[in-house]
Chains A and B, each alone.
Chain A
Amino acid sequence: MKKIKIQSSNILLLITVVLFICMYTAGCVVYANKGFTHLQTFLNILINNAGLICVACGTTMVMLSGGIDISVGSVVAMDCMFLAVGMEEWKMNSITLMILVLLIGLVFGLFQGFCIAYLDIQPFIVTMAGLFFARGMTAVICKDQVSIVSDKLFTALSNTKLTIPFGGYVNKKGAMIMPFLRVSVIVAIICVIVTYLILKYTKFGRSIYAVGGNQQSASLMGLNVKKTRLLTHVVASFLASIGGICYCLNTMCGTTTQATGLEMDAISSAVIGGTLLTGGVGNVLGTFVGVLINGTISSLVKSNGKLISSWANIITAILLCFFIVLQAIFAKIKERSKL
């Protein structure tokens, strides 16, 4: 029984990794003249999706516990707007603001988690209300719809280039250009590692898997199911807030329509990365690969240049559909083997 479970998740992860490698190689072959083979292209995928990586870590955690969180995209937008308006109109210190944003994330998650875990309301309804609440709050905070950041410290943080000493290329003018990373990528990678360690080695992490596998047996085992579910939502919203800061470092502005559909990207990354929607099986590293696949799809569409940008959305949705159906088939096989 347990063997099949591990196998199916491994197969999903394997498919994902193979898919990513195939996609990237195909991109390298087809768009070689457009600079797809440079190391920087790969790093750009990381830079563009740094916020998404943080958010997807939180989403994975919630999905592992058997829940779902679709409010994260709006939380990112709310954080960006809060940061932008705070720095521009309220003239606040950017570091204080960042701490405030993280606190907002904690409170937001605490409320959602309380409604879900202790009041027994469907996670989807609660987080959907959260989605609309946060999206509306962006408009409440800022009346002009757009606010652009010009704070010195924040700009410096955003412009910091962490140059990598190898893998550079010579551009058309003959100058050597070294590949570089941004601060947000480092934050995102730290998020992935910390989440991975928490899920693998702490009591909290193990109980998330147990709760996601079967709530009833988890509670019979003596785990505090309600507390675990509450905490996963708190952590998810906290990670979404970190993602919001990373996102803001990338875009340097807050708009009301920012990060629409980010929750969908996060969920599809997690699903493509082998996290079961029913909970209990999955891995943050898989999610990381899922985000890379998402990023590769959009950079392939961009490299083509002729396709309408909505193709990226459609392809992601098709992939998501494919993996969801695959999961359902695995679940059916598992049920048969049980009988």
Chain B
Amino acid sequence: MNKIKNITKMQLFLPIFSMILVMCINVIYDIANGNAALNFFYITIKNGVLFGRLIDVLNRGSEVAILAIGMTLVVSSSAGTDISVGSVMSLYGGMCCMVLAGYGVTNVSEYKQPLIVGILAGLLLACVCGLFNGFLIAYMNIQPMVATLILWSAGRAIGLLLCNSNIVYVRVESFQKIGGYVGFLPTPILVAAICVAVASIVLRFTALGTYIQSVGINKKASRISGFNSAVIILLTYVICGLFAGLAGMVATSRIYSADTNNIGLNMEMDAILAVALGGNSLGGGKFNLAGSIIGAYTIQAITTTLYALGVSSAQAPVFKAIVVIMIVVIQSAPFKDFLKKFTAKKSTKEVAA
């Protein structure tokens, strides 16, 4: 009994448990439909590239995984979430394609500027968005979600403005490479892996991770002990903006166009869900990056499974919303107290019997 309790108390229990649950559902679904039982895990090489549902989850989940890194830091440092990430993704798309294609042009087959200029311009804009959010939150003391609400609504509008209300296509092969394949491996997986590796190395081998956690646990105390809390919060929002830009880079290259209305739509929900699912408290403080990453891929697995079950992309938010509510209810203090009381009552009854 104690062993089970120890396992359920582990921080990675929730994300890994849900991942296994999703896989089980997939296996059951495949058996019920008469497919091979392990269809979900089946990986082949078709047309020289890796192919399979697991690869699909890893590929499509890269954006959420990249967003989840930034979101984890933001949640940890400021006890609030950045809901503008989806809009920043689309803003990146608008900026990058505008620079590459020129203003007002909707379809190009060669670059006006070198590719790297477009990418850097987009990432710079994403960082500026993060800086704006961070400034409002760290120096103006505005609630994070309200401050990011401004860009949540304005981001897409500005993106439309950059693209002159059109969808800008960049039909150049090297542009599609980031959303395409390197050899047999999908590039988004590689990009996500690099982002995760860099983030975890920086957080592990510098004191930044500790600083962020200490600010999240107690802002005032860490200021008194010598950290510049405001700068650290600002920094996390800039990092979050940068990662949102990187996620936008993958999403834009995937469809080689700046579809400002649809890039990153509802992504903020997925990113927050990934953080919550990863066993991180949405109240700030300690964080677990590995949990968030596993959470992100779990969410993508849920989405892919929903699509496989015949749920349309417009209907999928219903199920995700239910999952979010379940997770936050399980995490909430009153519910935990209730459970404790419930189990205590049970044990006293057992003793009495």
Shortest distance from the beta carbon of B198 to any chain A beta carbon, whole Å: 29
CA distance A174 to B310 in the complex (A): 58
Are A310 and B161 in contact (CB-based, < 8 A)? yes
B317 touches A133 (CB 8 A): yes
Q: How large is the interface on A (under 10, 10 to 19, 20 to 34, 35 or more residues)?
A: 35 or more
The residue on B at minimum CB distance from A316 is B153
Q: Is B69 an interface residue (CB 8 A)?
A: no
Interface contact B153-A325, CB-CB below 8 Å = no
Task: Report the separation of the CA atoms of residues A128 and B328 in the bound assembly, to the nearest whole angstrom.
Answer: 12
Residue of A whose beta carbon sits closest to that of B333: A120
Q: Does B81 contact A (CB under 8 A)?
A: yes
Instruction: Provide the bound-state CA to CA distance between A93 and B158, in Å.
Output: 43
- On whether A68 and B145 interact (CB within 8 A), knowing A132-B266, A310-B161, A317-B150, the answer reads yes
Distance (Å) between the CB of B141 and the closest chain A CB? 6
Closest CB of chain B to A290's CB: distance in Å?
Answer: 15
Residue B28 at the chain A interface, CB threshold 8 Å: no
Q: Is A277 an interface residue (CB 8 A)?
A: yes
Residue B325 lies at the interface, judged by CB distance under 8 Å to chain A: yes
| A86 CB to nearest chain B CB (Å) | 18
Residues of B within 8 A of A328 (CB): 136, 140-142
Interface Cβ pair total, 8 Å cutoff = 128
* Chain B nearest CB, measured from A275 CB (Å): 12
Tell me the count of chain B residues lying within 8 A, CB to CB, of chain A.
48
Give the residue among A70, A115, A136, A316 with the most B Cβ atoms within 10 A: A136
Q: Which residues of B contact A256 (CB under 8 A)?
A: 314
Chain B interface mostly helix, strand, loop or mixed?
helix
Q: How far is the CA of A126 from the CA of B318 in the complex (A)?
A: 13
Q: How many Å lie between the Cα of A314 and that of B157 in the bound state?
A: 6
A132 and B165: CB pair below 8 A? no
**Which of A139, A267, A325 has most chain B Cβ within 10 Å?**
A139
Are B332 and A125 closer than 8 Å at their CB atoms? no
Q: Which 5 A-B pairs have the closest CB atoms?
A: A136-B318, A139-B314, A317-B154, A136-B317, A313-B157
Which residues of A are at the interface with B, using a C-beta cutoff of 8 A? Answer: 68, 70, 115, 118-122, 124-126, 128-133, 135-140, 145, 256, 261, 264, 267, 277-278, 308-311, 313-314, 316-318, 320-321, 324-325, 328, 331-332
**29 A–B contacts from the bound complex (CB under 8 Å):** A120-B332, A121-B332, A122-B283, A124-B145, A125-B272, A125-B328, A126-B325, A128-B269, A128-B324, A132-B317, A132-B321, A133-B321, A136-B317, A136-B319, A138-B314, A277-B143, A308-B164, A310-B157, A310-B161, A311-B157, A313-B153, A314-B158, A324-B136, A325-B136, A325-B142, A328-B136, A328-B141, A328-B142, A332-B141
Residues of B within 8 A of A (CB): 80-81, 83, 136, 140-143, 145-147, 149-154, 156-158, 160-161, 164-165, 266, 269, 272, 276, 282-283, 312, 314-322, 324-325, 328-329, 332-335
- Having A313-B154, A318-B154, A324-B146, one finds 11 other A-B pairs with CB under 8 Å, namely A118-B334, A121-B329, A124-B145, A129-B324, A129-B328, A256-B314, A277-B146, A308-B161, A316-B153, A328-B142, A331-B141
